Structure 1
Amino acid sequence: MDSVTHLALGAAVGMAVMGRRTAVWKAALWGAAANTLPDLDVLTEHGDAISNMVLHRGATHSLFWLTLLSLPLGAAIARLHGEQALWRRWWLAIWLALVTHPLLDLMTVYGTRLALPFSDWPFAVGSIFIIDPLFTLPLLAGAAWALASRGGGRALQANAAGLLLAGAYLAWTVAAQAQVERMARASLAVQGIAAEQLLVTPTAFNTVLWRVVALDGSRYHEGFYSLLDGGRAMHFDAFDRGSALAPALRDIDGVQQVAAFSKGFYKLHAEGDELFVTDLRMGQEPAYVFNFAVAERHSPVQPLARPEQRSESPELRAGLDWLWRRALGEELAPPR
């Protein structure tokens, strides 16, 4: 999730756990800092753009390592403020602030390695976009009220209410995702598309309009469904996954990394003499966040020494206009 959300979540968790045992600003400050801490891994350079992508949300998002870190960190904060008698409470607040970061990231489609060092599987639910105001605003409102009121009883209740509303919204996203998946599978069956794998994720900033990607052999199918569509069947557009390029590119390390990290939701394609691998999970046809040049078309294919990210940005105004109108249930073809 975005940095503002992590700051708000950490502050809310810190204040909820510490209550009136310490100054609310201390609980909010350290909670916000702890919830932000795991994303410092973005400062690490892993050598190329693909490695930077797939190794983000790695060890710093491990529940095991964060749990180990929480004990000395909580004790140090208690000692710093002369509150050694509260060190267990500080430990609990810091532990929860730390682990709720990767647990929230888990709900996005990106992939979070929660189980390191025991497993490097990138877990992902994919029920919420990385920026969703309906999740963040209750946290901000509750935390701001508690801070402005300096921790009065009702203010702390408002903070708790913000956490509960945000949690309820997360539960709603999972339920909505399941509903859209049922609709997608029914629509695919009617259209005779045998999906080997199915991806269901919300579009930007909302959980009303959803994007569905179905893998079908050498093709992938993209469709959109709004919860305001009134139950009408989904329409899917078919695209080539670039299977013809697979023999030439399958041994390139960057392609293998994207294939594994995306759990198979990727495509290969050529633009002139350059060959690309694209993660199909983030973005929509034809504009994707993680699009990498990995080789040049020669005989044989020549891998690039350092893969280069070539993100494609859609025309913002037209994209937002389509998003708004399509979310409201209007039948519109996606911008291509």
Structure 2
Amino acid sequence: MDSLTQIVLGAAVGEVVLGRKIGNKAMLYGAIAGTIPDLDVLASHFTDTVTALEIHRGFTHSIVFSVLFAPIFGWIVSRYEKYKNFKGWSWLFFWAFITHPLLDAHTTWGTQLFWPFDLRLAFKSIFVVDPLYTLPFLICLALAMFQHKTSPKRRLYNRWGLILSSAYLVISMILKGLAYMKFENALDAQQTIYTDIDTRPAPLTTLLWTANVDTKDAYLVGYYSFCDKKPITFYKYPKHHEYLGDLRNNDKVKRMIHISKGWYTITKKNDKLYFNDLRFGTIGIKPDNNQFVFQYEIQVLENGEVRFIETPKDGRDAKNLMADLWLRIRGN
């Protein structure tokens, strides 16, 4: 999830653990702890794109990290804070650390919660930024913040924030199941032969869902809104995996294919080769849009080294996407 959401979650968890004893400092340290796992993004400044993608939401988003580093941070803070309870601080950091990847597991990218095992947990039931999850949670946290540390209202407001946000996650899973059945029924009605379906929510909402459908030579992409009245239309994106040629045997290419879980297309533009991670869709929902959210130029250097360079995004595309999403949520 986005940084603000993880800050709010961490602060709420910190309040549960130590709020009665240290007041708003529990929220402060919980918020700090809630952002620490995302420091793995700094890897992109020190390594290549493929390795950075492998590291992202890996070790720092695991149970192992939470268990090992919570006592370390707990000991450090207990050394200079007035509240000297090492166990209390360790519990605060542990719960703030572990709830971070548990929330991220509901997004499309997912987390390697069980690191070092190569198993990425991704429920794909909520977009990385979702105001309906974050805003009620933030309001409840703000209300709790202005209450005395021993006030029953403080605990009530914070509890309601956790209840509402958790309930929304449960609802998102139910909506995902309903959307999946709609996509499945639409494919059956259109007599489409496919091997797999991958569903996820559209940006900023759980009212609009999208599905990637794996067929022999292409992926089909469809959108379904709970306000739809017409049948679902699927748009075709050719795989063109053959464009890779001998590059398929390259180690970095194999790793990128593994990162994408096999959901990728290859495109050619101006004699350049691009790797498109289909799991995150396109920037926009129009069928003629081939600008993917995560697109990487495949560069082959003179010494044979292969590099993946992420294609920069245009801010204007994001504005167009918002307009398209609003229209599509209202139904087809």
Structure 2 distance, partners of 1:176, 1:235, is 19
Q: Deviations over 1:251-274 (max 9, x none)?
A: 233321221112111111211211
- Pairs within 5 Å for 1:214-253: 214-230=213-229, 232-253=230-251
1:226: Cα distance to partner? 0.5
Aligned to 1:328: 330
- How does the TM-score come out when normalised to structure 2? 0.91
Shift of 1:242: 0.7
1:302 to 1:79, Cα distance in 2 relative to 1, 3 A:
closer
Q: 2:252, 2:306 within 8 Å by CA — same for their partners in 1?
A: no
Task: Provide the residue aligned with 2:310 in structure 1.
Answer: 309
Residue 124 of structure 2 aligns to a residue whose secondary structure is coil
- Measured in 2, the distance between the counterparts of 1:106 and 1:143 equals 23
1:116 is the counterpart of 2:115:
yes
Paired residue secondary structure (2:327): helix
- Report the alpha carbon displacement of residue 81 of structure 1 after superposing the two structures with TM: 2.2
Q: Which residue of 1 aligns with 2:298?
A: 294
Deviation at 1:33, TM superposition (A): 0.8
- Which residue of 319, 322, 328 corresponds with 2:321? 319
The one-letter code matched in structure 1 to 2:138 is L
Instruction: Tell me how far apart the structure 2 counterparts of residues 67 and 178 of structure 1 sit (CA, whole Å).
Output: 33
Asked if the contact 1:291/1:310 (under 8 Å) is kept, the reply is yes
Distance 1:47 1:150, change over 3 A: same
Alignment partners' CA distance in 2, 1:131 and 1:37: 18
CA contact (8 A) 2:11 2:26 kept: yes
* 2:92 aligned residue: 93
Query: Higher mean Cα deviation, 247-256 or 135-144?
Result: 247-256
SS across alignment from 1:107 = coil
Q: Shift of residue 107 of structure 1?
A: 0.7
Q: Shift of the alpha carbon at 1:311? A: 4.0
Partner of residue 334, structure 1: none
168-177 vs 52-61, greater mean Cα deviation: 52-61
Contact 1:138 1:163 in 2 (8 A): no
SS at match of 1:130: coil
Q: Is the 8 A contact 2:108 2:124 kept in 1?
A: yes
Residue identity matched to 2:109 = Y
Q: How does 1:244-283 map to 2 (within 5 A)?
A: 244-283=242-281
Distance 1:204 1:279 in 2: 16
| Residue matched to 2:103 | 104
Q: Deviations over 1:180-231 (max 9, x none)?
A: 111111111111222222111111111101111101121000000001215x
* % same residue: 32
**What is the identity, as a one-letter code, of the residue corresponding to 2:318?**
L
Give, in whole Å, the separation in 2 of the partners of 1:99 and 1:109: 18
Quote how far apart the aligned CAs of 1:318 are: 3.1
The question of whether the paired residues in 2 share the 8 Å contact of 1:48 and 1:308 is answered with no
The equivalent residue for 2:182 is: 183
- Which position in structure 2 is the counterpart of 1:60? 60
The code of the aligned residue for 1:35 comes to G
Equivalent position SS for 2:214 = strand
Matches within 5 A, 1:24-43: 24-43=23-42
SS of residue paired to 1:289: strand
State the one-letter code of the partner of 2:140.
G
Could you say which residue in structure 1 is the equivalent of 2:144?
146
1:162 matched residue in structure 2: 161
Unaligned ranges ≥5, structure 2: 283-288
Q: How many angstroms does 1:54 deviate by? A: 2.8
Q: Cα distance, 1:20 vs. partner?
A: 1.1
Does 280-289 or 182-191 show the bigger shift? 280-289
SS at match of 2:279: coil
Task: Report the Cα offset of residue 312 of structure 1.
Answer: 4.7
Could you tell me which runs of 5 or more consecutive residues in structure 1 were left unpaired when the two chains were aligned.
Answer: 332-336
| Alpha-carbon distance between aligned partners in 1 of 2:280 and 2:29, rounded to the nearest angstrom | 32
Do the aligned partners of residues 72 and 277 (structure 1) sit closer, same or farther apart at CA in structure 2, a change above 3 Å counting?
same
Question: Are the counterparts in 2 of residues 295 and 302 from structure 1 also a CA contact under 8 Å?
Answer: no
Q: Is the alpha carbon distance of 1:316 and 1:38 closer, same or farther for their aligned partners in structure 2, counting shifts above 3 Å?
A: closer
- Give, in angstroms, the shift of residue 302 of structure 1: 8.9
Query: How many residues are matched?
Result: 323
- Alignment of 1:126 with 2:124, yes or no, is yes
DSSP 3-state at the match of 2:129:
coil
Task: Tell which deviates more after alignment, 133-142 or 27-36.
Answer: 133-142
Given the alignment of the two structures, is residue 83 of structure 1 paired with residue 87 of structure 2, yes or no? no
Separation (CA, whole Å) in 2 of partners of 1:182 and 1:167: 24
When residues 18 and 6 of structure 1 are mapped into structure 2, their CA distance, relative to the original with a 3 A threshold, is: same
AA at the equivalent of 1:57: R
Query: How far off is 1:71 after superposition?
Result: 1.9
Deviates more, 1:287-296 or 1:179-188: 287-296
Work out whether residues 19 and 27 of structure 2, in 8 Å CA contact, stay in contact via their aligned partners in 1. no
Following superposition, the deviation at residue 99 of structure 1 comes to 0.6
For residues 292 and 169 of structure 2, the distance between their equivalents in structure 1, rounded to whole angstroms, comes to 25
Letter in 2 for 1:62: S
